[in-house]
Amino acid sequence: MRVTAVRKAFGSRQVLRGVGFEARAGQLVGIVGENGAGKTTLLRVLSGDLRPDDGRVELAGTWGYCPQHPVLDEELTVRQHLRLFQVAYRLPDLGRALRLIDALSATGYLDTPAKVLSGGTLQKLNLVLALMHDPEVVLLDEPYQGFDWETYLRFWDLAQELKGRGRTVIIVSHLAHDTGRLDVLHHLRDGLLDPSPPADPA
């Protein structure tokens, strides 16, 4: 993925003022910044959900997008959501989706409607919907919000597994901890990315 000089304003508020970076296959890339820094705006531009005022986003291959707020139908169960996305992604079966649900310990909720799921379980579904077609580039907006510690650790196992298979994983968070798990960390400040040196594995 190559991002060049992306600009986006809402009215007179310049949120992105020339953002550029590259992410390669097999890289875990973090983008951190304070509340309101423009992280979600950037990810929406990267996913094609929002048109930038200027700049380019080049993305080779398939992508998956896990938005900050799950876009789900509260009347549908977890399994029905998986089926809906199976059709949209044109997948032959739900094998990978069910393995991901299992890896996140959500199998017990397959037949539960979204409207009665806890926030953390909704987020598990949100994440699985972004990963079930095994995209080459994964865009994750605060992917572990609401996760308990066990699930948080499983999330990072999953991220490592994706990295190991050459996927590009871009994680946006307002939390700058756990940066040792990332290959590259960018800070979004004043509408620009400030690249940090590779995270210290210690």
Residues found near ligand ATP in the complex (CB under 6 A):
10, 13, 15, 33, 35-41, 174
Least separation in angstroms between CB 90 and ligand ATP: 31
- Find out whether 128 and 99 touch, Cβ atoms under 8 Å: no
Q: Rounded to 5 degrees, what are φ and ψ at 133?
A: -100, 10
- Find out whether 183 and 24 touch, Cβ atoms under 8 Å: no
DSSP E strand stretches across 11-135: 13-22, 28-32, 54-58, 63-66
Least separation in angstroms between CB 12 and ligand ATP: 11
Between 68 and 105, name the residue whose CB sits nearer to ligand ATP.
68
Least separation in angstroms between CB 192 and ligand ATP: 13
Distance CA 86, CA 89 (A): 5
Whole-angstrom CA distances from 95 to 48, 132, 201 are 28, 9, 34
Least separation in angstroms between CB 137 and ligand ATP: 19
- Find out whether 137 and 21 touch, Cβ atoms under 8 Å: no
Between 36 and 95, name the residue whose CB sits nearer to ligand ATP.
36
Between 42 and 82, name the residue whose CB sits nearer to ligand ATP.
42
Between 11 and 201, name the residue whose CB sits nearer to ligand ATP.
11
- Find out whether 19 and 70 touch, Cβ atoms under 8 Å: no
Between 46 and 159, name the residue whose CB sits nearer to ligand ATP.
46
What long-range pairs does 179-183 form, CB within 8 A, spacing at least 24?
Answer: 179/30, 179/32, 181/28, 181/156, 182/28, 182/29, 182/30, 183/27, 183/28, 183/29
Between 56 and 174, name the residue whose CB sits nearer to ligand ATP.
174
Least separation in angstroms between CB 67 and ligand ATP: 11
User: Can you read off the two tokens belonging to residue 86?
Assistant: 């199976």
Least separation in angstroms between CB 102 and ligand ATP: 30
